[in-house]
Amino acid sequence: MRKKKHPFRVWIVLMCMLPPLATAQEEETGKEAQDQEEDSEVKFRVRVVAPPVIEGNRVDRYGSLISAVSDEQIQDLNAQDLASALRRVPGVSISRYNIIGSYGGASGGAVFIRGHGSGRPGAEISTMVDGIPRFVGVWTHPLLDTVGIDQADHIDIYKSAQPVLFGNMSFGAVNMVPKRTKRVGFQARYQGSFGEYNTLVQKGEFGGRKDRWDFFLTGSYRRSDGHREKADGRIVQLYGNLGVALNEAWSLTTHISHSDGWANDPGQVGVSPPPRTERYETNDQFYLVKLSHSYGKWEGSFKFYYENGLGDWFQWDRDVDEPFQSVTNYDNYGFRFREQYLPWERGELLFGYDNDTYGGDFVERWQSGDRLQTDLSFRNSAPYVMYSHVFGDDLKITPSAGVRFNNSRFFGNNWGPQAGLKLEWKRSQVHVNYAHGFNLPGVWSAIFYGDWGRGDQWKDLRAEKLDHYEIGLTHSFSKQFQAGISFFYDDVKDALRFVPPPPPPPLFANIGDYKTTGAEINLEAMPLDTLILYLGGNYMNTNPSNVPYAPRWTWVAGASLRMGRHWRLNFDSEWVDEQHVLNPRFPGPGATIDAYFLLNGRLGCQVNRRIQIFVAGENLTDSLYEFRPGYPMPGRIWMVGLDLGGSFKWN
């Protein structure tokens, strides 16, 4: 049952209907006067209109198709976390319970790409910040509340396997590229919004650049009472970086982020709630030091990182009518080196070395005493190399090939070969790629095997393997219309599946196989200088047919329209076919959720150069939908907000 909505302060909504504080002529006159005083690098520029849903698609040098979501799309989508920013991308599906807060247990907050990632919520997918994996070292899946979206300059989504570039857990990949101050001077920004169910969002940014130094700071606070009883959540996130150019070739950058939050589990509709509300709390600190260089034919970086986090899951066991607490303290750290060398014209040799340690300690706390206590870390050491070369002028042909060799502390050696081909001719591009990805068992396997009395038998498990094939074509018919289509085939073998008794005790085994045949289209049109339209579609046919989070059809559409100098309207919609859900690694009957359609919109009024008022609505059609059976998502939601920001000269 949906919670009763809180009444709105109507006068806030009416602010968006007020006329601009300055006429277009007055605004232009003021702009010209100020531009004469400001440095040329900080002149005010207005992008006429930005693409809706995604920034665009590109094919990299290695034949992989990459979708990008920029900071501007994140704002236009009114996205509050990584899942809501990516769920409109074709081929991407999500799971969640609440408006604010990604519940870290079960399927309360996860991102899936083309049906991959369901083994553990979001696992098999490499979720990264600046190329560094971010996940719970014990459970080998990300906690989305610890990967703050406010730090994103843009997000790259790799829908094909990337064993050479990213290694383990890369059946697909999401890489968040963090913000840095790019213009000389200061810049500051504040965004605040309030919506139904007492949903409050506040964000602040401050950055600067002068001479060899630059810095950027951001912090945010989000909370909501939720659309159902016990569907409330809260997230606090902080991020900062400091960069310095050591000389013309070398630079040093430090990134630090902190997150602290919680989300409650509202439970299934129709099931009596437990005496104690189930809750997942997170606390995470991430540190990254990057030494970069670029000179002559060489360009590369050295990255040192450390992440420490806590996942505290408060639960209730209905069988014994007793509360218990699952406490995970995880530590991930490592070193990553990557170099690009141009041995001769049009040739590129990419090589590197990753050394990652991940794991931590876990315990279940019961009234009768602690259980499942485990303290263990895994380690991967992986050198890799990739070579590519561009042939031709009018018709450019770029073949590439590479391999990664991964040595695991407990699971031996795995090879990850990859090959691609990119053809460019006039306004057309063809891309072809093959990749053999792998996904290793995690510390979680040792925890369960210890509970089942199987000791170290978890060491007999093997990596899950994926063979990915893809071919695609993109063509620009004109500056106003571009289209692309790609076909893919995924063959997964040795997927880990739960084997229940008899005979006891249970175990995991590499017995899961599934195949996916699919296609994806992307269309972008600009019929007017102030209007951009986008349509994307994804089709998947899986064998067996019950692969979780792999809807047969997904359609996404969006429009971005600028009306005059002060108004901007954004719409996005998605239609998702019925799909199977729930984790295949644990016992229990399968389940299916119905197809759903969502329409969202945002109207912004640029009052002057530094002030914008906006109103945003989600699920404008008031559709009934859910990501997990018995967990209905909210109906129509309205939010209103204020965006203040600008650049200032550094004296």
- Amino acid 44: pLDDT: 30
CA atoms within 13 A on the CB side of 509: 7
The tokens of 271 are what?
Answer: 């099931």
- Amino acid 587: pLDDT: 63
The answer to whether residue 218 sits within a structural domain is yes
- Amino acid 5: pLDDT: 54
The answer to whether residue 5 sits within a structural domain is no
Q: What are the Cα distances from residue 513, in Å, to 187, 371, 467, 584?
A: 52, 33, 12, 12
The answer to whether residue 176 sits within a structural domain is yes
The answer to whether residue 3 sits within a structural domain is no
Beta bridge partners of 424: 396, 429
Asked if 315 contacts 323 with a C-beta cutoff of 8 angstroms, the reply is yes
pTM equals 0.91
The answer to whether residue 153 sits within a structural domain is yes
DSSP letter at 146? G
Reduced to 3 states (helix: H, G, I; strand: E, B; else coil), residue 281 is: strand
The tokens of 55 are what?
Answer: 């920034």
Residues, the chain: 651
The tokens of 155 are what?
Answer: 């997000």
Torsion of CA 102, 104, 105, 106, to 10 degrees: 50
Reduced to 3 states (helix: H, G, I; strand: E, B; else coil), residue 376 is: strand
Q: How many CB atoms lie within 10 A of CB 343?
A: 10
pLDDT, tens only, 107-132: 788 899 999 988 775 689 999 999 99
Question: Strand locations in 265-346, DSSP E?
Answer: 279-295, 298-317, 322-341
- Amino acid 47: pLDDT: 53
Into how many domains does the chain fold?
1
Query: Low-confidence residues of the chain, pLDDT below 70?
Result: 1-48, 121-122, 583-589, 648-651
- Amino acid 585: pLDDT: 61
Q: Name the residue range of residue 313's domain.
A: 10-648
Asked if 170 contacts 622 with a C-beta cutoff of 8 angstroms, the reply is no
Q: Per-residue b/e over 173-192, b at no fewer than 16 CB within 10 Å?
A: bbbbbbbbbeebbbbbbebe
Q: How many CB atoms lie within 10 A of CB 266?
A: 24
CA distance 317 to 311: 19
The answer to whether residue 2 sits within a structural domain is no
- Amino acid 353: pLDDT: 98
CA atoms within 13 A on the CB side of 293: 13
Question: Strand locations in 479-620, DSSP E?
Answer: 481-499, 507-528, 531-543, 553-563, 567-576, 579-581, 591-593, 596-608, 611-618
Reduced to 3 states (helix: H, G, I; strand: E, B; else coil), residue 188 is: strand
Reduced to 3 states (helix: H, G, I; strand: E, B; else coil), residue 74 is: helix
Place of tokens 């899951």: 313
The tokens of 266 are what?
Answer: 């509202």
CA distance 196 to 227: 9
Question: Strand locations in 390-480, DSSP E?
Answer: 395-408, 412-425, 428-439, 464-478
Torsion of CA 621, 622, 628, 632, to 10 degrees: 180
Q: Tell me the torsion sign for CA atoms 87, 144, 171, 515.
A: negative
The answer to whether residue 1 sits within a structural domain is no
The answer to whether residue 4 sits within a structural domain is no
Which CATH number does the domain housing residue 104 bear? 2.40.170.20
The tokens of 44 are what?
Answer: 């005010």
